[in-house]
Chain A
Amino acid sequence: MGKFNVLQHDLVPEHHLVPVGEEDKVLKELDISKDLLPKISRNDPTVKALEDIHGKLDNGRIIKIIRKSPTVGYSIYYRVISGEVFK
């Protein structure tokens, strides 16, 4: 909210919201069920920032992360929004 846009920080890779319609395609490609995907807390600053852009995001939405990688250039990673906060 306001101040600093975390999405622009050098350490933060690209975060994109996967449209609901494309979720099945992603899961099929990875041959995995949603609960086995890596998680991202719904209180995560990047999720909050995405909420500013897209409106409220429900648990279970998938976020596509495009990381800069020193070995392959860039790699794609998926995380699912989860209500459970893991510490």
Chain B
Amino acid sequence: MKVLVWKDTKKNMESLVKNLPRKYAVDFSPRDQSIKEAYISVDGKTFTFRAVIDSIAPYDETEQNVLKKKSSPKTVFEITTLEKIDPIPLIEFKASGKYLKEMKTWNIAERSLTEMKEKEAYADTVPKDINEIVEDAKKLGFSLPLTVAYDVLKYKKSLDKKEYTHLLKRLHEDIVKKEIDPHEAVGIIAAQSIGEPGTQMTMRTFHFAGVREMNVTLGLPRLIEIVDARRIPSTPSMTIYLKKEYSKSDETVMSVVKELENTSLIDVADVITNVAEMYLTIRPNANRMKERIVAFNDILDATEKVKGITVIRDEKDQEIVVKPQQESFKKLYQVQEQLKILTIKGIPGIKRAIARIEPSTKEWVIYTQGSNLKDVLELDEVDGNRTYTNDIIEIATVLGIEAGRNAIFMESQRTLQEQGLEVDQRHLMLMADMMTFGGGVRAVGRQGISGRKSSVLARAAFEITTKHLLRAGLIGEVDPLSGVAENIIVGQPITLGTGAVNLVYKGLKNTK
């Protein structure tokens, strides 16, 4: 259902609420006169009022109306009810195909809500014959991994019942043999297993990864980046898939690419400061504008949105003269800096976007330099469910910690595989699990996992010994000596393997 949305002042709303129904003269005239409902925003971020409009009529000077603004009233709304509602974010409304981000004057919008649904259970999608094999294994007293069950299925047909049971029994034996024993030091094994191949990785920072003009950090630097949980990777990049209905149309892909690429003012124009006269000149460069497909009016529109400046258009020379409203050198400098990074179009953060046909599926895929997952997911043509970025922290904040864990696992595995190194997946999974244990992505080193161990001695044994010991002494920390490092320090058996078990002699049972 179409609704009218606009921004208004708190004072106007309060005076309207008191005397209803009321005629309200506004400074805009919607083309669609049949609209009955309106949402009004006071702060420009959320809608806090809902109004029911009985009729829309042209403005008549002779009538007594409440005016929205003193200047240029155009239409009169007859408002029958106006109620305060719980704040609704602007983003829940869509105007002409785009989600509302800011509320300037008025708009005709439609409320669009995505239905929040839990994911369909993966267990239900497992084929029946696979489930049968898992059930058979359960009868023999062990749980068979699904991936192994898929392999068993291949041979099941050519085996008779006896052989089949025998196969499952052999699998059971194999699985038991490979199980990790209680109190095995899995962490240290994982650290060794990732660390050793790490010594064979190339130190070269850059590698051209297939896509033209696009480079992605690979090898050891990338692995360090993942493990250190850097806020921003050195080469953030996204892989954007389009929805099935758009993914084969060349025109849509090109329009999405143009929509994505961020162009700031400095990319298409020069900003020249005139200190003596206290003004700035924006001189667009025709060549660069052509390259980025930016019109002169786009620049003008973007400049006019900046607050605190007066924009004078110089028609003859195709220049824009900008004067700060406050005359001071500080302000002049501030405006200059502000204009340089002014976004003319595109999504902030995305520097380049390149579309390429994926050879295997014949569909268009967009690769970008720079990453902004949150904004890209909001685009209509984009298939958000498949869209991926290599910025792990961004994934963890936008999609949640579990997605972050998957990203750590996938990224580290891909980095190692690209170098031709094979590390068991379980080690990487353990690392990813440890890094996301606390609900946020933590680095492995002194700032993260190792620095947050509960034992003072273990922390002191790792790095910055004096700092930890001094602090512990000051606040009187107690070390229960339950870990490995602290027990080595004090010279006790470590709590691993057989050392983790305490033997207690109960004595003979008293039999009279």
Interface residues of A (CB under 8 A from B): 1-16, 38-41, 44-47, 49-50, 52-53, 65-74, 79, 82, 84-87
Contact = CB atoms under 8 A, between A and B. Distances in A.
Given A7-B116, A72-B145, A73-B145, A12 B400 contact: yes
A2 B114 contact: yes
A14 B122 contact: yes
B439 A73 contact: no
The 8 closest A-B pairs by CB, nearest first: A73-B146, A86-B438, A46-B400, A39-B439, A11-B403, A72-B145, A86-B440, A2-B92
B384 A4 contact: yes
Given A1-B91, A2-B91, A8-B117, A65 B437 contact: no
Interface in B351-381: 377-378
Given A2-B92, A41-B440, A11 B399 contact: yes
20 contacts: A2-B99, A2-B112, A2-B114, A3-B91, A4-B114, A6-B398, A7-B119, A8-B119, A8-B385, A11-B395, A11-B399, A12-B406, A15-B119, A38-B436, A38-B439, A44-B401, A44-B439, A46-B401, A66-B123, A79-B439
Contacts, number: 141
Contact of A38 (B92, B118, B437): B437
Contacts of B149: 73
DSSP class of A's interface residues: helix, strand, loop or mixed?
A: mixed
Interface residues of B, number: 47
B432 to A, nearest CB: 11
A84 to B, nearest CB: 7
A45 B400 CA distance: 5
B312 to A, nearest CB: 39
Given A66-B123, A73-B145, A46 B402 contact: yes
B119 A12 contact: yes
Contact of A53 (B116, B433, B441): B116
Contact of A16 (B113, B118, B384): B118
Given A13-B402, A85-B439, A71 B145 contact: yes
B197 interface: no
A67 B146 contact: no
Contacts of A14: 118-119, 121-122
B422 to A, nearest CB: 14
A68 B436 CA distance: 17
Contacts of A9: 384-385, 399, 403
Given A12-B403, A38-B437, A73-B145, 4 more contacts: A6-B399, A11-B388, A39-B437, A66-B122
A2 B400 contact: no
B116 A65 contact: no
A3 B401 contact: no
Contacts of B334: none
B407 interface: yes
